[in-house]
Amino acid sequence: MDTFLNGLWVTGLCFISSGLTSKLLLHIPNRYLGLPSISINGITLLIAYSGVAGVGLLLGYSSFSILMLFLFLNLALPLFFIDFKTGYLPNILTYSLLWVGLLYQGISLNGNLISAFYALILSYVLLVVMTTIMEKIRKRPQMGRGDFKLIAACSAWLGLLDLPYFLGLSASLGIVHFIALCIKTKGTLVSSIPFGPAIICSAMVWLFVSMSPN
Residue 159 φ/ψ, nearest 5 degrees? 85, 175
Q: Yes or no: say if 127 and 176 are a contact pair by the CB < 8 Å rule.
A: no
Q: pLDDT averaged over consecutive 10-residue blocks of the chain (214 residues)? A: 72 94 95 92 93 91 93 97 94 96 93 94 89 74 79 96 95 90 74 88 96 84
Q: State pLDDT tens for residues 109-131.
A: 888 999 999 999 999 998 888 88
DSSP letter assigned to residue 140: S
Domain-wise residue ranges, the chain: 63-211
In whole angstroms, give the CA distance from residue 133 to residue 136: 5
